[in-house]
Chain A
Amino acid sequence: MLLKNIYNEFIKILAKPRSYIGIGALTLLICIILFAMKADGSSFISFVTSSFEQTLSFNGTILNGNLIAFIILQMLIVHIPLLVALVTGDLISGEAAMGTVRMLATKPISRTKIVISKFIAGAVYTFILTLWLIFLSLFVSKFIFGSGDLIVLNSEGLVILKEQDILWRYGLSFIVAFLSLLTVSSVSICFSAFAENSIGPIVSTMAVIILFTIIGSMDVSVFQNIKPFLFTTHMASWRSFFEDPVPYSKIFNSIIILVVHNVLLVSIAIIKFNKKDITS
């Protein structure tokens, strides 16, 4: 029954016009960035590298597909949560708003399975969105700009990664980026279990992300204790794969925090949906 309902949820997601807004917006944004980089990427790069030019000399093509992909991921990973929440925030509350939750809840399937099937369908949608982001940013960028070594500027300075040392880093960072977005999906599904309309969970999810991000970025001692436990703190962990050496323990810690968030949030959604009187 769970598999049948997961299939049902896929059909619903595929049939909803809003599911394509995310993919469309992502494609458009990446095309705009690629166009901008193609048109004036060298001046953008020289602005970043100018501070190092007195101490370092750069040979080869810095502006390559690997760098463009990194720039795109850095720019968009902040905005994609909205595109994820747009679909996943509607999964439970959309049924209440439409009235179909009555029909669904009177079928011989447990409410727990209803929430789990929605979570799985939302996870697959998030996976596809993340995959599409990686495909467009990495493979299309490489096709247009060619390949080469990757120069990454982080808090500890400049990291230069060899061309043959990059693809696996993108592969692993994709997994962590997906886990981050899956947490966003879980947040919105959790809000969705409490709401009776589609907009509330989407707005609430974004509000939480903004709030937690602000708390995380403030250098105030009172927030330092909670900062390591906020999921937003770990949403940028995918970037750690582009450090040398890779801080695996830090990444593993982030993965644990994100997984715990997912389990907790989905559990809350299940408990709430099971206890809910369906009066809509």
Chain B
Amino acid sequence: MSEEVIKVEKLAKNFGSFEAVRDVSFTVNKGDVFGFLGPNGAGKSTTIRCLLSLIRLNAGTIQMFGKSYATHRYEILSKIGSIIEKPDFYNYLSAQKNLEIFARISGATVSTKEIHEMLEFVGLGGRGKDKTKGFSHGMKQRLGIAQTLLHKPELIILDEPTTGLDPQGIIEIRNLILRLKNEQNKTILLSSHQLSEIELIANRMVIITKGKSLVEGNVQELLNAQELTVRLELSDVNKAIPLIQQHFANVEITRINEVEISLSIEKKQVSHLNKMLGENNILVYALEPKRKLEDFFMKIVQS
């Protein structure tokens, strides 16, 4: 059985009369890259703040590394590195001084050499002496990741780490997360609006909406259990539609334009569909699966 790093059960948190979180449960195992998904206002940030003991729970339990904050706060936080929303720094201090300050209270001994190496690692090698006041959002995000990794945590919690980054920055952060998982076997909880990011890097996920967790499980298993939506570009759409309806019972076809349709079918039937169209002299110019997680997410959230 996998070692449980985070175990959340029936978490609830109110701010006055507002129920930010009302029933969230999930488990993150050692070595997981765990996607934490939900629309805006679903309660993701509140849950993450509860996980980091920034806010108190009204109900439910949180176990981190099999222990509770009530008795093992110091030990738990020593093993966690986190970025909550945007990383903020003492803007009157240099990047290096900021890292020194956070390293000093991280529960680990971090040398100046390691700080320099970490700055290099996140691509801020030559900027250590610069005050963070002049840093761009992307640079602060990278410095935030340096701060997160400095004390070599076992668990990394990243709340929307790619928000506000340009495409190159997003790719860099994604690659960094993959390196942390593959090279250092870190456990990572990743909250993101970028569903494609989660699909690319997470192995497990939970979807929450209106303060309640709805689905939890292995990303691929959850997606494979769903029908696949494919877009087809064909030589003769008018001929193809009745043929598809004849061969695949109850399939719902959407006509996009004169040459394109989309339909949802089981993954194993895709090759059969392609073969059938070819046998009926309909040329298939494109057969493209749509973003699966997006569809899955929308289906869950809207339900």
Contacts and interface: CB of A to CB of B under 8 A. Distances in A.
Contact of A103 (B74, B78, B88): B88
B73 A103 contact: no
A36 B277 CA distance: 101
Contact of B49 (A4, A104, A279): A279
Interface in B42-87: 49, 52-56, 73-78, 80, 82, 84-87
B27 interface: no
B90 A100 contact: yes
Interface stretch (A9-17, A25-33, A68-76): A9-17
Contacts of A104: 105
Contacts of B76: 108
Given A110-B73, A277-B55, 13 more contacts: A4-B104, A5-B104, A7-B104, A8-B104, A11-B101, A98-B90, A102-B84, A106-B54, A106-B84, A108-B76, A277-B15, A277-B54, A279-B54
Nearest to A99: B88
A17 B91 CA distance: 12
Contact of A15 (B53, B55, B90, B104): B90
Contact of A4 (B90, B105, B147): B105
Interface in B202-217: none
A278 interface: yes
Contacts, number: 81
B102 interface: yes
Interface of B: 15, 49, 52-56, 73-78, 80, 82, 84-93, 97, 101-102, 104-107, 147
A105 interface: yes
Contacts of B102: 103, 107
A98 B101 contact: no
Interface string A240-280: 00000000000000000000000000000000000101110
A210 interface: no
A17 B106 contact: no
A158 interface: no
Contacts of B77: 106-108
B107 A107 contact: yes
Overall SS of chain B's interface: loop
A153 interface: no
A15 B84 contact: no
B45 to A, nearest CB: 9
Contact of B80 (A4, A7, A106): A106
B90 A5 contact: no
14 contacts: A98-B90, A100-B89, A102-B88, A103-B88, A105-B52, A106-B80, A107-B105, A108-B77, A108-B105, A109-B105, A275-B56, A277-B54, A277-B55, A278-B55
Nearest to B75: A108
Contacts of A107: 77, 102, 105-107
- 4 closest pairs, A vs B, by CB? A99-B88, A277-B55, A108-B77, A108-B107
A131 interface: no
Contact of A108 (B54, B78, B89): B78
A1 interface: yes
A99 B86 contact: yes
B49 A278 contact: yes
Contacts of A105: 52-54
Contacts of A98: 88, 90-91
Candidate in A11, A104, A275 with the most chain B CB atoms within 10 angstroms: A11
Interface centre among B15, B89, B105 (most CB of A within 10 A): B105
Contacts of A277: 15, 49, 54-56
B54 A102 contact: yes
A173 to B, nearest CB: 35
Contacts of A275: 56
B105 A8 contact: yes
